[in-house]
Structures are given as structure tokens and as C-alpha cells.
Amino acid sequence: MGYYITNVLIDTLHNLINKDCKGYLAFKRTNTLDRLKEEILNKGGQLIFDESHFIIIVLGDYIEVISNEDIYLDNRGGYKERGLFEGKRFGAIDISGISMDGTESFYAMFRRCKTKTVIFGDIDTSNVKEFNRMFEGADIDKLDLSNLNFERVYNLDWMFAGSKINILDLHGINTNNAFSFDSMFRNATIKILNISGMETSNAKVLRSMFLGCNTYTNIDISGIDMNNAVDTSDMFKNTVSKVVGVDGIRLHNVKVCTSMFENATLGSFDFSDIGLDKALYANNMFKGVKVDIPVGDKSLSSIKNEGIMTTDYFLYGSKLEGNIDMGEFNLYSGYGYREPVEMFNGCRARVTGKNFIYENEEIKKFL
């Protein structure tokens, strides 16, 4: 990617100085920028040179030295975006004036970075294919990605895993081509999370997407399409926040949904169209799950195991009240079947299926 000295870059530099931001930019060394050194120093900043380029660092009391191993200019005057700001501390980051033409990966670009905000502006990300680990472990006050182009992105794995973000706006982002959301919000602490309208219709891997996620508001998944997913294991396991919008979830192509809702708190329990037609592993799927309201009679009525699905500890210890209808589910034909009580032990609800009734921690068989 080309990155040459232009008026835009000069203006960006001045903005850094005038806003008293902590940050750095890497440029090809020129006499034009040499002349800015005195102004930078007068503002309390420092300019560090080496033989090939210099790095503008420090405003205020923070000093950072970037070596050639951290960021370097290639033979076209460009730089590597992977891990560009990894582990750095800034008052703010403004990359709105930087050309990203041809950039295909933002892997770990802001991983473990600490800043108040990242300003993207109208930056062109139309060629980016990877956003995986982009903000993993980052500490950011406010982050708005709604203007970024996600059209070619296929990998969002661990994008915000372990991060601490006060406000994260992802509403309406076009992730139609993304197939993997593995651990995207895993163990993240996000006060306000907006994922309304986020496109997941082609997603194949949703494994651990919200595992252990903690938000100050409910996690609303009403707009998340899971019907083409093949792996949803641990997707909401141990989420601290309540998960709402689960009504109407369809998992007709899923093969692995182990521990999908284990120990999660749900706003409702209507999975009447969930399917699981092709599921091979559904162990612990609703183990320890909690719902604030009584479950509906048809809550799991579409499940058909057809002798291939393992369901050990499926509803084990779930804190559900009411009646659960499991439709044509055959308790005694599941692959790897052990003891029926393992599937429901500790479940408070009354459960009925094709050939059984479970209530008061007892199984009544109808063979």
C-alpha cells in the first residue's frame, strides 16, 4: 500500500498536536516534516528519527519508541497494518485521513491497545478480509464501526474478545460474507452493545461468540440468523448478561451445539422452530439455563433426534418452570445414550416427548 507525504498527512499531524492527543504516525522522512520538529517540541512532543524513517510519538507525558520490528516502511513507502497499534496507549487515535487501499488484513491492529476512541471517518476498508483479533483485549471508551465496509470480510474471530469497551456500535454492518464469528465477544465487558441489523445469514461458525460476555444491557440477538450455522457450541455459555430475542431461532443445519446456552439467563424459552435436524452433539445445550418467566408448552416441539444426536445433560439443572414439549424426541434412541436422568436431572419443568414424561425428577417411559 502506498503511503506518501501529502497535505492530508500534514493536517493529521497538526490535529494530533492541537488536540494534545497521545499517538504516533510513521512517515517516510522528508524535509517538509523536518520543519515541523520545532513545533512538535514546543507542544511537548518528541520526534525520534532513524536511518529510514521517523516516528512521531508523545504528546503530554507519555513517551513511546517504536522500533523497525514494530512498524516499518516497505519499498513502496507503505506500512504493515497487522498489529499496528498493538499494546500501545493513546489519548485518541484518528486514522480517518490514512489511505488503506489494497489492505486485506487488520489482524490484531488494536489488540491490547488503550485509548478513548478510534476515529475511522470514511476510511476505505472495501478490500479487507480479516478483522480477527482486531480489538482483542483492548480498553476503549467509545467505538463506532458502523461506517466501515465489511462486505469482503470473512473472519471476525476473537475480534473483541476480552476487551473493555463502554460503547460499541455495530448496528447495520454488512457482514453478509463472514462465515466465522468464533469467540467474537468472548469474555468481553461492554457497557452498551448495539448489534441490531448485523448480518449473519451465511455464518457457519458461531462458536463461543458471546461466551462469558458481560454487558450493562441485555444481549439482543433477535436479528442474528443462525440457520446456516454448523457450530454454535458454547455460543452463550456463562454469559453474565441476559440474552433476549431467542424466539424463533432456527438451527436446521447445525451439527454441534454443545453447551450453547449453558448457565445463560434467557428472556424467554420459545424454541419451537429450533429443529436440530442434523445435530450430532447437543450435550449440555441448556444445562443450568435460567428463564425469568414460565416456559411455553411448545418450547422445544420441533426437535427430532432420529437416533443420531447425543443429548447428555441436555436440560440438566436448568432453572425452568412450566411445561416443555419436546415433540417427537425419542429419549431411547439417541446415539451414545446412557441414563435418561442425566438428560433432565435437576430440571424443575415438566418435560414430555414421544415416549416419556419427566416430572419431579422421575422418568415415566412409554415404549
* pLDDT of res. 171: 85
End-to-end CA distance of the chain: 68
**Alpha-carbon distance 117 to 145, whole Å?**
11
* pLDDT of res. 71: 33
Q: How confident is the model at residue 366 (pLDDT cuts 50, 70, 90)?
A: low
The residues with which 140 forms a beta bridge, in sequence order, are 115, 165
pLDDT, tens digit (0-9, with 9 covering 90-100), for 85-124: 788 777 777 777 666 777 888 889 899 988 888 888 888 8
* pLDDT of res. 80: 42
**Alpha-carbon distance 344 to 362, whole Å?**
9
* pLDDT of res. 308: 61
The residues with which 54 forms a beta bridge, in sequence order, are 27, 49
pLDDT, tens digit (0-9, with 9 covering 90-100), for 345-362: 888 889 988 888 888 878
Q: CB-hemisphere CA count at 13 Å for 157? A: 12
More confident residue, 310 or 261: 261
Q: What is the pTM of this model?
A: 0.77
**Alpha-carbon distance 293 to 206, whole Å?**
27
| pLDDT > 90 fraction of the chain, expressed in percent and rounded | 34
More confident residue, 21 or 289: 289
Instruction: Count CB neighbours of 361 within 10 A.
Output: 11
